[in-house]
Amino acid sequence: MTAAQQPIGVFDSGVGGLSVLQALRAELPHERFVYLADSGNAPYGERGDAFVQARTHAITGYLLQQHHIKALVVACNTATAAAIHEVRERHPQLPLVGVEPALKPAVAASKTGCIGVIGTRGTLTSAKFARLQASLGGQARFIVQPCDGLAHAIERSTAEPLPAMPTATETGAICARYTGLMGKFGTKDGEIDTLVLGCTHYVFVQDELRGLLGPDIQLIATGEPVARQTRRLLQTAGTLAPEAGAPAPAITLFTTGALAPLQNAATRWLQLPAQSCATVDLPTNRP
């Protein structure tokens, strides 16, 4: 297998990173992907940095050794904040893309200059997020709200049928509680007109958020910028998959937790067959 034919690795603490995989597939339709959901240890946002770092190194090692990935997308804000600098140090030749709350695009999009940011506590209390926010000081007012329990509820929701009324769900109730704490949403001066989805899971509650906040509030996620950056890195490395005459690329998904939630999520959100999913036992590497 040539370098161009090797897969791109993508991982998250659970199914939330499927939103990034969705964007990657749209941007890079000829690439092969291996996705790993560390659902047996989710959510990362409520874990300590040392735990997240250990899991990130274990997953990176597994994807390199067992699947020979040519690039890695850390599709988890918490893992990016806690561990991506260490992964870069250990694997300097590996093209690596992380995710972070999309504050810069939100500043460009906002008309009122008042921006809401929701995410896990691990992401929003990280030094990396503090530096990002400080770099935009004076350009906007940020209302930052940790959403404890929301990522976990989204994980659980994959076992349920699609609701007729999105806001009448557990995830809808959690969204209502936290957005209600943030202040007034709207398009007038002083109102929050833009909401940054600072966790990859939250893309999958856009309907709930839209139902609560109305059509005029802009929702900003990170999947498309991540996909474009991945393309740029592969172009620089000369390892983009060939397009001419390429067969439909293989996509394999693994989970360290129960199989059914990943199968349900892959079918619901990516229209992938259940048989593309499998479980994997992945112990943590110890230093």
Residue 287, in any domain of the structure = no
pLDDT of residue 206: 92
Q: Among residues 199, 220, 241, which one ends one of the domains?
A: 220
Together in a domain, 214 and 228: no
**Is 168 exposed, middle or buried (CB count within 10 Å of its CB: 0-12, 13-18, 19+)?**
exposed
Walk across the sheet containing 96-97 and list its strands.
96-97, 71-74, 8-12, 33-37, 251-255, 277-279
- Asked if the structure places residue 286 within a domain, the reply is no
Q: What is the pLDDT of residue 161?
A: 62
Residues 208 and 112 in one domain: yes
Q: What pLDDT shows up at residue 250?
A: 82
Catalytic positions are: 76, 199
CATH number at residue 165: 3.40.50.1860
| Cβ count near 131 (within 10 Å) | 11
User: 195 and 121 in one domain?
Assistant: yes
Q: Do residues 160 and 251 share a domain?
A: no
> How many beta carbons lie within 10 A of that of residue 96, not counting itself?
19
Claim to verify: residue 9 and residue 40 sit in the same structural domain? yes
Give the separation between CA 197 and CA 191, rounded to whole angstroms.
Answer: 17
Residues paired with residue 194 on neighbouring β-strands, in sequence order: 115, 218
Domain stop point among 169, 201, 220: 220
Q: Is residue 112 domain-shared with residue 209, that is, in the same domain?
A: yes
Task: Tell me the CA end-to-end span of the chain in Å, nearest whole number.
Answer: 31
Q: Which pLDDT score is estimated for 37?
A: 96
Determine the structural domain holding residue 215 and report its residue range: 103-220
Q: Are 101 and 222 in contact (CB under 8 A)?
A: yes
Which tokens is 251 given?
């996509």
Q: What pLDDT tens digit does each residue of the chain (287 aa) get?
A: 788 889 999 999 999 999 999 999 999 999 999 999 999 998 887 788 999 999 999 999 999 999 999 999 999 988 999 999 999 999 999 999 999 999 999 999 999 999 999 999 988 999 999 999 999 988 999 999 999 999 889 888 877 666 655 555 889 999 999 999 999 999 999 999 999 999 999 999 999 999 999 999 999 999 999 999 999 999 999 999 988 655 667 899 999 999 999 999 999 889 999 999 999 999 875 44
Structure confidence at residue 287 (pLDDT): 42
Number of structural domains (the chain) is 2
Confidence (pLDDT) at 156: 85
Considering the domain architecture, whether residues 235 and 249 belong to the same structural domain is answered as yes
Produce one character per residue of 189-215: b if its CB has 16 or more CB atoms within 10 Å, e if not.
Answer: eeebbbbbbbbbbbbbbbbbbebbbee
Which of 220, 250, 270 corresponds to the end of one domain?
220
